Structures are given as C-alpha cells and as structure tokens.
Structure 1
Amino acid sequence: MTSTRVRGSEANGRERVVPDHEVAIIGAGFGGIGAGVELTKKGVHDFVILEKWGAAGGTWHANKYPGVAVDIPTFIYSFSYDQKTTWSKFFTPGNELEEYANELVDKHDLRRKIRFNTRVVRQEFDESQNIWALTLDDDTVITARHVIAATGGLEQPKLPEIDGIDSYQGVLMHTALWDKDVQLAGKRVAVIGTGATSLQLVPEIAPEVGNLTVFQRTPIYVGPKPDLKYNAFWRALFGFPGVAKGIRHAINLSTAYIPDAVFNLDSKYVESASMAMANRIRSWMRTQVDDPVTREKLLPYYGFGCKRPSFSNTYLKTFNRPNVDLVTEPIQRITEKGLLTADGVEHEVDVLICATGFAIWDHMPAFPTAGRGGKDLKRFFQESRYQAYQGVSIPEYPNFFLVLGPYGYVFGPYHMLIESTTAHAARVIAETKKRGATTAEVKPDVHQAYFRKMHQRNKNHLWLSPACSTANTYYIDNHGDSPFRPGGFGEMYFHNKYFRLDNYRYGSETVAPVVKVASRRKRNKEVVG
C-alpha cells in the first residue's frame, strides 16, 4: 500500500507520480536532526524523518546501560550552531545527550516532521518515476524523491559468534538492549568484551554484583580521564561568545591542509610515534592495578591508536576488587550454565552481558537498498569494496545520500562529520530542485578519483601497518581496507561544503518499466520523458 499521489499524465501516456515527500530522512538521532536543519537552511521544507524508536536521540535513546556516556569532551560533541553550556561533566552522561537531541528537535521545529515507531525495512529506486519507495515493517510504502540515510554506525548490536550462545539458560543481554528490570545485586555476572562500553559498564556494576567475571580477548589502551565537573567557570568560559566555536574552527583549520603530507610519510615514522605513545600510556596503566599477573594481562602491546583508545579513572582499578576476575583464556563455547574456556574451566554465571559492540560494516546499509536496475547496495559493497564519494553518495544510487558512509568519517567529534555530510546532501538536493531536475547522481569519474585518493593515502596508514597486526580492530573491514577518511577535520568540512556542484549529473530522464508482450518476450528498457 502507498499513498503516493498521481498528477496528470506525461506526453508518453504514463502517469507522473508525485512522491509523498521531497526528502525522507531515516533516523532521528543527531544525523537525522542535522539533516533536517541543513535542508531547512537550503529552503527544502518538504521532508519527513522516519524513526524506528518512540523518541528522538538515536544511540543515546537506545543505550541505557549503567555508566553510558560520551567518550570525548562534550564541548566539541555538539553542533557548532547549537553549543550548550549546561552540561554536568566534560564527558557527559547519555541521558543529557538524549535531552540535548530533544532540545534540538524542538528548537528547530522538527518534531512535527518525525514519524516515530516507523521502521524502514527496505528501499528501492523506481527508475520509471525517479523516486525512492521505502517499505515499512507494516508493509506500507512511503515515497520520496530523495533519501538521506542517517542510521549511524551504532545501529545493529553484535552478539559474539560463540558456539552454544542459544543454549544459555540464564539472563542474556547486549549492552545496547539493556533491560533495566534485570536485577544484578548479589548475582554472578559475566561481561564479554573490554572495549569502550565495557570500560563504562564494569566499574558501575562491580560494587553491586556478587561476583563479576570479565572476559577479555584483546586489551585496549586506557588513559586517565579528565572528567571535570562543568562548574560555573567552564560554563562561563564556553558560554562566552565565540569561544566554543573558535575551538572548533581551530581544529578545522589546523587539519585542513596537512593530510596529504601526513599520509605520504613513510609508515615507519607513524609507527614509531605510535609505539612511543603506547609506552607512556602503559606506564600509567601499570600504576592502576595491584596484582602483577592481572596487570600484565590488561596491558596491550600493539601500537597506540590501532584500536579506539578510551579514558577511565576507575576501570583498571576495578580489577583490584576481591569480587572481580579477569579471564583471558579464549571462550570455547557457551553452556547452559555459563562459559567454557579453552583451559577446561566452566565459569557458571547468572547473567551474561555482551559488551561486544556493533556490526558496523556487515550492517551497511542498515536494510536492503536497490538502486538502478535493482542493484543491491550491500552486494555492491561486498563485491566492489566499501566506497562513497566524500562518504555521501555512490554512482547508480541517484538521490541517495549517506550521513556516515565509507571514507566519510574522520575520527573525532561526530557532529563535525554530521554538519559536513548533511550540508553536502542538502546542497545537492537544493541544486536538483533549482535545476528542475528529478535526479542527481555523482559522476563515476569523480567518485573513482576520490576512491583512488583514499586508497593511496591509506597505503601508509597506521591501521594497515605491522604495528596493528594483533589489535583485532573494527577499523579494518572484511576486505582488509580501512573505510574511514584518512584526512583532517578541516579537509572533510571544506570538501563537503564547497565541492563543485557539477560533480553530480542532474537529469529528468526515466526508464520505462519492463512489460510483457503477447509473445512473452520482455521489451528492452528505453529512455523516455
């Protein structure tokens, strides 16, 4: 079922369909909110935001595990046009970030644009009308001329691929789907994973549980966390006109022109710097843990920066508690009662918590997406590697834009990326409308030139060097590539804001649908209209 409107007929006799909306934005997290703001700036007001949850906030609405917080200073984890100075801490708790998201929704009058509890399960480009058809989980269809996918990278929780996980008879939950009704007090609890989420969770639940066993595959670098309270001084400083924005601009400008020089350096220099930093951080980590055996198990020896580094003043010290154990033997399988490790020990637990992150690459795109000729995007990524021009658009997928696409994200403040890629999408959509066109598609040669440049830079990237060979990092995809943008914030920002609009091809041609004739032979596709 679809509510798509029909307006008259074209010269060729086919009905011309008017889509339900000019733009459909998928996701009401910060990416979707940013997209709505940028479209409004460009005078594009006919858009809808489709959100699978019952509230805005994306990751910060979904993740409710104990200790959840942002892991970079909050004064740069916000939009440049909506700086906030009333945070409680430098590393803000998740509930405050969800509140910030809702404040933005109301300030920019976006709530009336959002359809909550609306999950997109697939989308397909209709070449006969140059519109996207988005199928929802109730089988209804919404149509739009353009689509901005703002589903984010932390979309699909990833359970560990361990034999027997379905046989476990206790309470099993992933941190991204936290069940607040589960009581942990006095229980035997196991946590699988020692990444950024685990660093926040473990110190919070350790004092409450009876016994906590943390299963570690690869240790990570943990540095001291300057988690100062956002007192009157800091609020006054960052509230002073231009200070917070000035810091952001300084970050942009300082990284605008150096990426080519940095990524042309021989990787041995980057590896040396990485190892020097690793030595310093390991020295600090050693001061946090009393037991020498546990201390050594917690120390990483790959290069610093190969995995996402984290900050905590309490995680390492948690292993000094008598009720907390660290297990580094590989998990052989999960049993009805707990976890069996390679040394033959069965660790019986009442609650099994998976702090195992998200299926970032396997879940891109977040749902089946078919472009021209029914070309499946996930299959394209698997066969041709992950790629997108500026991390935003892909040939043969007209009018489709990613907020967090391959080779788009420079590691650091997420909102800088959002402001960049959503501005990119809004520029193209506005230009399409201005030209009276119905499609905008990045030119293949432009796309390929960008893809080649990213690969050339990555040849000397730390993540692809021997220093990271044992890191087991999600920075590397199944192709052995690192589809993050090897560049600086400034370059990302300026190239998305000021790329040549003629890097896209604009048109109104449509392709006649394939029909059956009496002989049952299919008519060839032809360009019409």
Structure 2
Amino acid sequence: MTPEFDAVIVGAGFGGMGAAIALQEMGYSRLSILDREDDLGGTWHVNHYPGLAVDIASVTYSYSFAPNPNWTRLFAPGAELKRYAEHIADTYDLRHAMRFGVLVERAEWDDDAQFWRVTTADGEEITGRFLVTATGFLSQPHTPDFPGIDSFTGAVLHTTRWDDAHDVSGERVAVIGTGATAVQLIPEIAERAEALTVFQRTPIWVVPKIDFPIPPVVRRLFARVPATQKAARKVNDALLEALMIVGVLHFRQAKPMNKAAALLAKAHLRLSVRDRATRRALTPDYDFGCKRPTFSNKYFRAFNRRNTRLETSPIERFDADGIVTVDGRHTPIDTLVLATGFNLWDVNFPALQIIGREGRDLGAFWRDNRFQAYEGITVPRFPNLLSLNSPYSYSGLSYFTTIESQMGHMRRLLGELQRRDAVSFEVTEEANDAFLTEVTERLGDSVFYRGQCSTARSYYFNQHGEAALLRPTSTTASFRAASTFPLSDYEFRTPATV
C-alpha cells in the first residue's frame, strides 16, 4: 500500500515551511501542507493588530540560510514578517503543496500499512508516510469564560481575530490582558480612544526597546555583503543567549545577572510612569524570566495619559454596556479587546488528536503522565511522527533557532532511514526517558524552580507544575545534539520486518 504523500505537514507557518524545506532536501517531493487559515504565515498571518512587531531583533528572527536584508527596523513590523513568509514560500516552491481552509482533526498511525491516515473536519482522509505537526506554540487562543460576557452588546475584538475596519477613535475601550501582545497594542489604542481601561491580572517585566529604522545604506550593505548581516546576527544572538540562557536557565549560578535585568526593568518603569500607585501595580512580584519578558518604550508611558486607567480589581461580571469588578465598580465600555493569550497545555499539545501505535492518544498520554518528546521532536509509539514545537524543544534565542535545530534532527534521522532502506522510525522508550531525565535535571537550576514564580501565572508551566517548554541547553548545544544524537536511540523497520 502506497500513501498519497511522502509527508503531511499540518501548519503553513515558518515551522511547517522549514520542515518542508528539509524534506525536499532529503528527496521527498510529494508533500501536502495543510492549514486551517486562508493563507500562509502562521501567527504572522493571523495577527495584524495595531502595533504588531517582532519582539526579537529582525537580524535574528529569520532563517539563517535565508537572511532578509530588507528589514526596515531593528524590530520589524508584523507586515514585513508576513512578506518574508511569502518570500520563503516562493523561493522554495512550497505554494503548490499548500491547501488552506483545511482543519485537521485527527491523525492515526496505520501499523499494517506503515503510514499515517489524516482526517479533516469535512471528512476527507489523506495518507502520508510521515506526519509533521507544525501548529506552533501559540496557535490556540484563550478566551476566558467571564460571567455575563454574552450579554455585552458592544464590539468584541480578539487580538488573533482583529477587525481592521473597526475604529476605536472616540470610543470607551477595555483591554483585558497585559502580556506581550497587549504591551504592543495598548499604546496604539490609548492614542485613539476616548477612554481606555486596562484590566491587569499579572504585571509583566518590560525593559527598554532599543529600536530604530535600519538606514537604506545598511540594507544595501546587507544585500551586497551578506557577511555583514551575519555578523550583526551573531552579536544579537550573543546578547539573547546571555539574557535567556544564562539569566533564566542558569539562575542558580547567575542570579546577579537575573537581578540586574529586573533592576533595569524597574528603572525603566520608574522613569516612565509618574504616578506612584500605578508604578506599584505595574511592578511584578515574581522573578525576572518566570514569565516571558518583553520590550517597549511606549507601554508604560501610556498610563500617564489622562484617558488611560489601570484596573487591577478582578472582574466579577459583564453587563450590557460594561464590566463590573469585585469591588462593585462599573466601567462602561463600547469595545472590548481580549488580549488574553493562548492555551498551550490543555488544547495545543497537540492541536489535533494523534493516535499512535497500540492506540496511544498523544494528548491523553501527555496530560495523564508528563509532557515529553525526545530532543523535542519525537515520541515513543508514534512512528514517523515529527512533532515540531513540542515539550522541551524551544531554544532561548528565537523560534527560528528551534525550527532550524529540528530541521537538522530531521536530516540526520531521515538520512539514516534512507541508508537502511527502512519504512519507519520510532524513538525508543529508553532514549526518551533518558532525555526527559536529563532536561528535568538541567532545569533544576533555572529560575522556574530556583526563583520565585508562584505568582507569575506563566504559560511556561503546564498543569503538572512543570516548565516543560524551554530546552535547558545553549543554542550551540541544541544544534550539536541535532546532528550528533545516537542513531541507536531509534528503531527502524524495514520491509522485511513489517
């Protein structure tokens, strides 16, 4: 029995495209890239709210093998990331393999046929030798079920479903959430709205954003002499490595660096916000790094505006024209903006039902046991599954570091599959257990376990209380592991053994 495709890839963002590029390099040309949205780009297609920009310097936030010399700012606006995604799809001839508006609901391994059967919401079945899940970390929006929200008669906007035609000028607006998305959005709304109330549950660490336009002469230099952009990338990588890897993952050994980052953020807050009570409310009571910090020069200053108010009293309920907090205060609003983040651990890992060998349900296995994936990409009893953006996969530098590390793992693994003329691969239980033990021990030195994170309400922590998202190694180490992991950690089935 021959499957329809070499691989079915779920997700047409940068992760899915990276996987497709790696598969093409290995000679797999029959690809099907499925996405529930109406175009490619993943989060950079879905998100287009005012103020959207990358929160990692542009010289780092791209594939290292496909640098973009045309970023207009050090922190590129979201529209440029969308254009970069389109450029990648065209450069590597991926569009012909893409189908949009396709919601994948289920995938099941057929052990007799040795391929995956993928089922869409409309009942279509697609078969592929390999299954690649590339749905990203932040793909399942979280919308709290506030009492009475259905009775609210005003407009409701979620940051992942922004209505570009909606003008908040002259309106009374409420923003719920103060995460990285809200930090970008709130200053934009504050400039237009008649009144803005920001409902905060947990404050966020914010440090100054050193952002500026990249002069045309520099962009031309990057295009003509790529080594110059590569050098700029290395400098930025080193700074991020120090911040994330040392200050967060090696908190026990480098606690002073972590404290210095917190002091920088507090100084930024003090210099930006005039009102003392507002400053206190905006100051986190958890250690720097427990929750993803962000960069902004405008967020704190928005609270100096007469039309902007910070509300920290919990929401009790909605009524037809506003929000009532537990202290009895009623805030009338015309438009509600939900910047309430994403649901990683309940519905995102994985974002579809995946049934492996012997009927094992991946989502149920993770939730009933521990979230785990060997080298952040494969799981025992799930042959020929490449689960990108899985537990313990995210590298501290950027999403692209994670993608490229996993692309390297794919090349090594599939190269061995081809050398053996095998039909399937599966990581062993022993290798998976050893990797889980190793990353668990390494995380023991991180801010997540050595710091004070109990009040952070961070998406880094799953329902088991484990910080099972970040890979606790340096970026160099993650790339080295992707190209040197023991091939004996996998079992390969040949046609003779099927």
Whether 2:366 is the aligned partner of 1:384: answer no
Residues 252, 488 of structure 1: 8 Å contact kept: no
Whether 2:205 is the aligned partner of 1:196: answer no
Letter in 2 for 1:372: R
What SS does the aligned partner of 2:272 have?
coil
Aligned to 1:163: 147
Whether 2:298 is the aligned partner of 1:314: answer yes
Q: Equivalences for 1:20-419 in 2 at 5 Å? A: 20-239=4-223, 240-246=225-231, 248=233, 268-362=252-346, 363-419=348-404
Shift of residue 161, structure 1, vs aligned partner: 4.1
Q: TM-score, normalised by structure 1?
A: 0.88
Whether 2:488 is the aligned partner of 1:487: answer no
Shift of residue 428, structure 1, vs aligned partner: 2.1
Q: Distance in 2 between matches of 1:245 and 1:494?
A: 20
What SS does the aligned partner of 1:75 have?
coil
What SS does the aligned partner of 1:340 have?
strand
Identify which range, 461-470 or 132-141, moves more after superposition: 461-470
Residues 27, 149 of structure 1: 8 Å contact kept: yes
Aligned to 1:474: 459
Q: 1:383 to 1:318 in 2, by over 3 A?
A: same
Q: Distance in 2 between matches of 1:416 and 1:193?
A: 28
What SS does the aligned partner of 2:410 have?
helix
Structure 1 residue ranges, 4+ long, deviating more than 6 angstroms after superposition: 250-256, 259-265
Residues 420, 494 of structure 2: 8 Å contact kept: no
Q: Distance in 1 between matches of 2:199 and 2:38?
A: 34
Provide structure 1 residue ranges, at least 5 long, that are not aligned to the other structure. Answer: 1-16, 511-527
Alignment identity in percent? Answer: 39
Whether 2:421 is the aligned partner of 1:436: answer yes
Q: Distance in 1 between matches of 2:377 and 2:234?
A: 22
Provide structure 2 residue ranges, at least 5 long, that are not aligned to the other structure. Answer: none
Letter in 1 for 2:63: F
Shift of residue 423, structure 1, vs aligned partner: 2.5
Deviations 1:351-406 (A, max 9, x none): 11110111112211001110012211110001111100110000001100112111
Q: Distance in 2 between matches of 1:193 and 1:335?
A: 19
Residues 398, 441 of structure 1: 8 Å contact kept: yes
What SS does the aligned partner of 2:182 have?
helix
Q: Equivalences for 1:491-510 in 2 at 5 Å? A: 491-508=477-494
Shift of residue 335, structure 1, vs aligned partner: 2.7
Shift of residue 127, structure 1, vs aligned partner: 1.1
Residues 251, 489 of structure 1: 8 Å contact kept: no
Shift of residue 233, structure 1, vs aligned partner: 4.3
Q: 1:509 to 1:383 in 2, by over 3 A?
A: farther
Residues 175, 354 of structure 1: 8 Å contact kept: yes
Residues 123, 368 of structure 1: 8 Å contact kept: yes
Q: Distance in 1 between matches of 2:329 and 2:403?
A: 47
Letter in 2 for 1:112: H
Shift of residue 254, structure 1, vs aligned partner: 10
Aligned to 2:446: 461
What SS does the aligned partner of 1:219 have?
coil
Letter in 2 for 1:328: T
Q: Distance in 2 between matches of 1:82 and 1:384?
A: 39
Q: 1:298 to 1:133 in 2, by over 3 A?
A: same
Q: 1:55 to 1:436 in 2, by over 3 A?
A: same
Shift of residue 262, structure 1, vs aligned partner: 9.4
Letter in 2 for 1:455: T
Residues 371, 398 of structure 1: 8 Å contact kept: yes
Residues 207, 264 of structure 2: 8 Å contact kept: no
Residues 408, 492 of structure 1: 8 Å contact kept: no
Q: TM-score, normalised by structure 2?
A: 0.94
Letter in 2 for 1:370: I
Q: 1:187 to 1:464 in 2, by over 3 A?
A: same
Deviations 1:105-138 (A, max 9, x none): 1011111111222221111111121110110121
Q: 1:127 to 1:403 in 2, by over 3 A?
A: same
What SS does the aligned partner of 2:341 have?
coil
Residues 376, 392 of structure 2: 8 Å contact kept: yes
Letter in 2 for 1:127: D
Deviations 1:147-197 (A, max 9, x none): 111110111111124333333222222101112232312111100001110
Matched positions, count? 493
Q: Distance in 1 between matches of 2:162 and 2:232?
A: 35
Residues 213, 326 of structure 1: 8 Å contact kept: yes
